[in-house]
Amino acid sequence: MNMSYKNLKLIACGTFTALLVAGFTSCGKKDANSPGVEFMPDMYRSPSLEYYGSQVINGDTVYSAMTPVKGTIARGYMPYVYPNTADGYEQAGLYLKNPLAYSEKVEKEGEVLYGKFCVHCHGATGGGDGKVGGKLPGAPPAYNGTLKNLPEGKIFHSITYGKGLMGPHAPLLTQEERWKLVYYVQKLQGPKTTAAADSSKPAAAVADSTKKVK
């Protein structure tokens, strides 16, 4: 028993010394930048792939994340089909309708968003007299003045893409949030006048006034 314990101690000491020697000698001074011998280098170094594509590495084609198939639509996302052109603006004015059912709650949520994203330019009552709006070279027109008969589709279109000095809000607000804002802007517009203020598009404005959701 005693003897085998001694043996064990001897083996342990021997191994320790061997490791010590190996450790010192492995720190060779030949190349200061050499990382030494690597154990299973693949574990530390994976080939770096460019994202969204395929590359040939060591004769193998390797795929990283691929771009979605053309025409793919993210779940729950509705693409906005009207282009940012004068035509797109007119088309949106004629055909684009609010997909959200009107409720006071929805309008109230629009009001909250308005207080965060719009009031500094458009003012609390939408008169274009916000603190920032007044400093712009051209203040925003009043919702219940020049913009009184602006149809919902155009309101949405302009919030989405921006207009003149107003920047696009698509990156800041979801479509749902923008439609909530449309309800609140419509509230600030007040009741539409049947005699369309915008004489260039009487048909659209009149048609829209009959479809007022509230």
Positions that interact with ligand HEC (CB under 6 A): 117-118, 121-122, 132, 136, 138, 140-141, 147, 150, 154-155, 158-159, 163-166, 169, 181, 185
| Residue 122: how many other CB atoms lie within 10 Å | 25
Q: What are phi and psi of 166, to 5 degrees?
A: -90, 130
By C-beta, is 100 or 166 nearer to ligand HEC?
Answer: 166
Nearer Cβ to ligand HEC, position 147 or 205? Answer: 147
Taking the complex as a whole, how short is the minimal distance between the CB of residue 77 and ligand HEC, in angstroms? 20
Under 8 Å between Cβ of 161 and 170: yes
Please report how close the Cβ of residue 147 comes to ligand HEC at its closest, in angstroms.
5
Quickly list DSSP for the chain: -HHHHHHHHHHHHHHHHHHHHHHHHHS-SS-TT---PPSSGGGT-PPPPPSSSEEEETTEEEE-SPPPPTT---TT-PPP-S-SSHHHHHHHHHH----SPP-HHHHHHHHHHHHHHTHHHH-TTSSS--TTGGGSSSPPPPTTTTTTT--HHHHHHHHHH-BTTBPP-TTTS-HHHHHHHHHHHHHHH-SPPSS-S-TTSHHHHHHHHHT---
- Minimum CB separation from ligand HEC for residue 116, in Å? 8
Q: Residue with structure tokens 């603006």? A: 89
Q: Nearer to ligand HEC by C-beta: 9 or 131?
A: 131
Beta carbon of residue 113, minimum distance to ligand HEC (angstroms, whole number)? 7
Instruction: Provide the minimum distance between the beta carbon of 66 and ligand HEC in the complex, in angstroms, as a whole number.
Output: 35
| CB closer to ligand HEC out of 97 and 163 | 163
**Is 118 or 204 the residue whose CB approaches ligand HEC more closely?**
118
In terms of CB distance, is 98 or 158 closer to ligand HEC? 158
Which residue is closest to ligand HEC by CB?
164
Query: To the nearest whole angstrom, how small is the minimum distance from the Cβ of residue 187 to ligand HEC?
Result: 12
